[in-house]
Amino acid sequence: MTTLRILSLFPRHLDLNGCYGNVLCLAGRAEWRGIETEIIEWIPGEPVPSDVDLVVCAGFAPLSTVVALAPVFAAAGEGLRALRDAGVPIFANAAGWSLLGERLVVAPDGDRVDTARVFATTEGIGAERKVGEYHVAGVAGFVNRGTVRIDAGELLRSGASLATDIMGPFLPMNPSFADEFLTSALGRKGEMLPAPISPDLARADEAAARARTAIAVRLNRR
């Protein structure tokens, strides 16, 4: 039986808003299709493992935490970029995207902190905080940030990878992206995404669709 290895980056530091749900979503949707999964937590200071099939850097954290973690991610950048270049799907959201970008501009005088350089984006401190629900082209979620992505919007695709400013459990809310990642990971093994073997997958999809619709309705009423 196929086993997918999911690498989770710093889940204990970046899980203020249920962001670990993105990892659980990938594992659950795989298992509902008969695919075994192994979740690996990256330990700071250790080399980035090369024998993984998916990478998740999902989470929300205060800016001070992001700045403190940035040097660790910068040091791990070579290993993470090697996974990206090999076609391993990488998902990052909120602070996870900040840490996998090119750099952070973290002070009014323009001080810069290097990060992992997986995504070619730079982030700076914004004048206002953006908080609220989000629904564009069927993609839904919640945004809460006081930073500005200087050279990207809320979503950025890079090969098989995706970064987004939509925080929290983005993949459970938008499960088609989770299936994209699973399809890409299996494709590297020469396999296809199998049909579901559990009714739980359809129930999860229905719940996610209702949540996206509810957000769209609320936004249209404002």
Confidence of residue 143 (pLDDT cuts 50, 70, 90): confident
More confident residue, 18 or 138: 138
Tell me what pLDDT residue 127 has: 60
Q: Which two tokens stand for residue 68?
A: 């403190």
Tell me what pLDDT residue 15 has: 60
How many independent structural domains does the chain possess? 1
List the domain range (segments joined by +) for residue 90: 3-221
Helix 200-221 with 21-31: angle, nearest 10 deg: 140
Confidence of residue 148 (pLDDT cuts 50, 70, 90): low
pTM exceeding 0.85: yes
Dihedral in degrees, nearest 10, Cα atoms 81, 58, 11, 34: -90
Is the pLDDT reported for residue 16 higher than 70? Answer: no
Nearest-5° Cα angle at 47, 164 to 84: 40
pLDDT tens-digit map of 18-28: 688 999 999 99
The residue count of the chain comes to 222
Q: Could you tell me the CATH number of the domain that includes residue 15?
A: 3.40.50.880
pLDDT tens-digit map of 29-75: 999 999 999 999 887 778 899 999 999 988 777 777 888 888 999 99
Tell me what pLDDT residue 110 has: 65
**CB-neighbour burial class of residue 198 (10 A; exposed 0-12, middle 13-18, buried 19+):** middle
